[in-house]
Chain A
């Protein structure tokens, strides 16, 4: 269950991106996770809630956008989205392809900050 390690890494990445003003809170953290990233969303949500306690991310929502795998089919010369991750063949012409263009993402896309009004200019 490396989702616990991943959750710690998320806190590190988000904390580094936060404004120094401690009054700025975090409402939500948006992730983009490819289906080939090897992350189980349920385990990550569980780990996240444990790990954020006592940090500036405490109480924030974790929103996960799942990114499907897209391969390049050499026969069609086109990008093709796969339904799963067990069969790396073009869904149109059945040509095998290991040329992966999307689906390995494991990133913090954005964060929703709660900013005290007087801070805004």
Chain B
């Protein structure tokens, strides 16, 4: 018996290849169906659910067909809150997993007809680290932070903020009580992601939400024209402003 030999084999394969391929397939499905998908990420307690409940309610009132998938480790509390908007909502329980994956989105979409959805929101598990690595096939990723979390949050979690397309600062009604330095927060965001659009909102008071809806409409228009350039255009979806 001779001695074994060591041999080096090049692999050069993405570790998240499976998730990335699935996300690409989902993105193609969303584009074909005309469903604009928004992935909301933040730490726990930023106010994603309250913000999304309000968003679903308002967009429905504007005549848009919206729906939401919401991820949590356990409980369907968030789905129950979001369902008050009247929009179709499903809870994804990850049972310990700290993020949503493309596979879960695919499974939970099974009995929904994408052709009947204009905008699908995905509320990710509250976590500013892990969801950054997992593409869900979304068109836009929105990173959120609240005024109670500190202006330097983007510097502490640069990977997530860098991976996002838009930043939303929530709980602006508490800004004064928290001595929130808006300029410092903007600087921190621009430092980790130069040129990123930043919105400041108060879900409770309803401030800043029109700017949020305008941004969604503009992104959706941009996405739609990019989409029609390489896929056949179907019937025009409802406008964001009724």
Partner-B contacts on A (CB < 8 A): 1-2, 5-6, 9-10, 12-14, 16-17, 25, 27, 31, 36-39, 85-89, 96-98, 100, 106-118, 120
The CA of A120 and the CA of B132, in the complex, are separated in Å by 43
For residue B19, which residues in chain A have a CB less than 8 angstroms away from its CB? Answer: 9
Cβ of A29 to closest chain B Cβ, rounded Å: 9
Question: Closest B-chain residue to A6, C-beta based?
Answer: B15
B13/A13 in contact, CB under 8 A: yes
Complex Cα distance A80/B193, Å? 16
Closest chain-B Cβ to A7's Cβ sits at a distance in Å of 9
Q: In the docked arrangement, what's the CA distance between A70 and B56, Å? A: 39
A5, A85, A118: the one contacting B162 at CB < 8 Å is A85
11 contacts between A and B (CB under 8 A): A2-B97, A5-B97, A5-B99, A5-B130, A9-B16, A25-B4, A88-B192, A98-B194, A110-B9, A111-B11, A114-B5
Task: Collect the chain B residues with CB atoms within 8 Å of residue A96's CB.
Answer: 190, 194-195
A9 to chain B: closest residue by CB = B15
For residues 1 through 60 of chain B, which have their beta carbon under 8 Å from a beta carbon of chain A?
1-19
Q: In this assembly, does B191 line the interface, its C-beta being within 8 Å of a C-beta of chain A?
A: yes
CB <8 Å contact, B10 and A109: yes
Closest CB in chain A relative to B11 CB, distance in Å: 5
Interface residues in B171-219 by Cβ distance below 8 A to A read 190-196
Question: Once bound together, how far apart are the Cα atoms of A36 and B193, in whole Å?
Answer: 12
Do the beta carbons of B13 and A98 come within 8 Å of each other?
no
Task: Categorize the interface residue count of chain B.
Answer: 35 or more
Interchain CB contact under 8 A, B130 and A38:
yes
Chain B: which residue is nearest A16 at the CB level?
Answer: B13
- Cα-based distance from A25 to B3 in the complex (angstroms): 13
Is B155 in the interface zone, CB < 8 Å from A?
yes
Q: How far is the CA of A82 from the CA of B116 in the complex (A)?
A: 45
In angstroms, Cα B8 to Cα A110, docked, is 7
- Establish whether residues B193 and A98, one from each chain, have CB atoms under 8 Å apart when the complex forms: yes
Within 8 A of A (CB), among B90-134: 97-99, 101, 129-130, 132-134
Knowing A9-B16, A88-B191 are in contact, say whether A108-B2 is a contact too (CB < 8 A): no
Min C-beta distance of B13 to chain A, whole Å: 5
Q: A2, A13, A111, A115 — which one has the most chain B CB atoms within 10 A of its CB? A: A2
Q: Which of B13, B133, B195 interacts with A37 by CB under 8 Å?
A: B133
- Which A residues are CB-close (under 8 A) to B14? 13, 106-107
The answer, among B10, B163, B194, for a CB contact under 8 Å with A88, is B194
Q: A2-B134, A85-B162 are in contact. List 18 more A-B contacts (CB 8 A).
A: A2-B129, A2-B130, A5-B97, A9-B15, A9-B17, A9-B19, A12-B18, A13-B15, A36-B159, A37-B159, A38-B130, A85-B158, A89-B191, A98-B162, A108-B15, A109-B10, A112-B6, A118-B2
Q: Which residues of B are found within 8 Å of A109, using beta-carbon distances?
A: 10-12
Residue from B5, B11, B134, B155 within 8 A of A115 (CB atoms):
B5
Instruction: With CB as the reference atom, state the residue of chain A lying closest to B3.
Output: A117
Question: Given A2-B98, A85-B192, A120-B5, do A38 and B129 touch, yes or no (CB 8 Å)?
Answer: yes
Q: Cβ of B160 < 8 Å from any Cβ of A?
A: yes
